[in-house]
Structure 1
């Protein structure tokens, strides 16, 4: 690590942790929307489920790397996503499906924890395997906005994209990309490079396709 990296790392670690926790709190908005509607219908639990599993595995990766920032950040994330999932579970009618998915995720996390604690493999091997799982889950997460980009291009309007959330996503991903580069951690670097590029694409759409679709009046567009 360079002298510059050692100097900036404590500040970057703090800002990355703070901004990520703030980003995790965006789930409160989804929960508020569910509360307002009185039901979880029309809202997918997928973001909560994927984030809960990802944070659970990243906690193990952080422990293997002896990286407190990764461990603490994902510990907070796992707790918050668990709370969101619990609220979603209370409000949903399709509890049977959610029971199965949550059980599978808890089994996956449990198996990984057991394997890390009891496997005869070397510490480096464990770190590599858990890191690969984390990369896969993170890439799945960061690829989700590609569907929104396709929708915007088809409609020629950025109305469906939440600008504050897109900016927040860019800030968080850029910080973790920089963090991964400084500490030379490919598990952190690769997914966040992809996420940063996708975030830049999303933000560019607000310039390319501002406002409502061509030929659609704002009052009409509100009801589409």
Structure 2
């Protein structure tokens, strides 16, 4: 029987987690494709793109501080994709002023984080603070869908929940949690563990409250985050 070493398991998991995370990032292409077709963003929110850009930018900085090549690689792709999604949203939204204010807010946060991490003489302290910020943003990002739980419970219907995205979140966060455990990094473990738990709760709702419509979930391009 072939037994893999911890290093081999870590490398396999890093490859798998990177692949599934990039696939998850690419779901934004479907949403932007719909914007191009309709020449409008409709009532959709920019929050997924803005929070994605913020999260990937912060994790990218954390990856550089920790010299974690896997974290660096996946978040370079994430920053590029979410920047493209934000640009697309800006082109087609009628509320450009509000959107640009939101972009300015996250860019300010990213800039201050980078400046602090550069001027802080203690690299360990810098990585801890940046990791804490990444962790906080990650928890907020994963917890945001919980605002719909009350509606699901009251209506006993899961039509408002995007099943494919929730399922993808479950597998992605599970892989990153295990990866964080293997490299003994609490800042990677904590938000992904919570994300995995929250995704599990949402998946359980599909069993308790099955969809009442013929369509089991909303299309990606009509999801209201």
| TM-score (norm. length: structure 1) | 0.89
How far 1:54 moved relative to its partner? 1.1
Cα–Cα, structure 1 residues 96 and 211, in superposed 2: closer, same or farther, change >3 Å? Answer: closer
Cα–Cα, structure 1 residues 150 and 110, in superposed 2: closer, same or farther, change >3 Å? Answer: same
1:54 alignment partner in structure 2: 55
Where has structure 1 moved over 3 Å in runs of 4 or more?
A: none
1:26 alignment partner in structure 2: 27
2:78 alignment partner in structure 1: 77
Tell me if 1:208 matches 2:205.
no
How far 1:116 moved relative to its partner? 2.1
Cα–Cα, structure 1 residues 7 and 35, in superposed 2: closer, same or farther, change >3 Å? Answer: same
1:143 alignment partner in structure 2: 143
How far 1:143 moved relative to its partner? 0.5
2:159 alignment partner in structure 1: 159
2:96 alignment partner in structure 1: 95
How far 1:120 moved relative to its partner? 4.1
Cα–Cα, structure 1 residues 39 and 6, in superposed 2: closer, same or farther, change >3 Å? Answer: same
CA distance in 2, matches of 1:55, 1:174: 18
Query: Which deviates further from its counterpart, 75-84 or 34-43?
Result: 34-43
CA distance in 2, matches of 1:167, 1:193: 15
2:64 alignment partner in structure 1: 63
| Native 8 Å contact 2:176 2:189 kept in 1 | yes
What is the root-mean-square deviation in Å for CA atoms of aligned residues?
A: 1.9
| Native 8 Å contact 2:56 2:78 kept in 1 | yes
| TM-score (norm. length: structure 2) | 0.88
Residue-by-residue CA offset, 1:10-33 (whole Å, 9 max, x unaligned) = 000000000000000111122133
Query: Which deviates further from its counterpart, 91-100 or 168-177?
Result: 91-100
Bigger CA radius of gyration = 1
Residue-by-residue CA offset, 1:68-109 (whole Å, 9 max, x unaligned) = 111111111111000000000000111111222212222222
How far 1:149 moved relative to its partner? 2.6
| Native 8 Å contact 2:40 2:93 kept in 1 | yes
2:221 alignment partner in structure 1: none
CA distance in 2, matches of 1:159, 1:36: 24
CA distance in 1, matches of 2:123, 2:211: 53
CA distance in 2, matches of 1:152, 1:182: 36
Secondary structure of the 1:144 match is: helix
Cα–Cα, structure 1 residues 33 and 152, in superposed 2: closer, same or farther, change >3 Å? Answer: farther
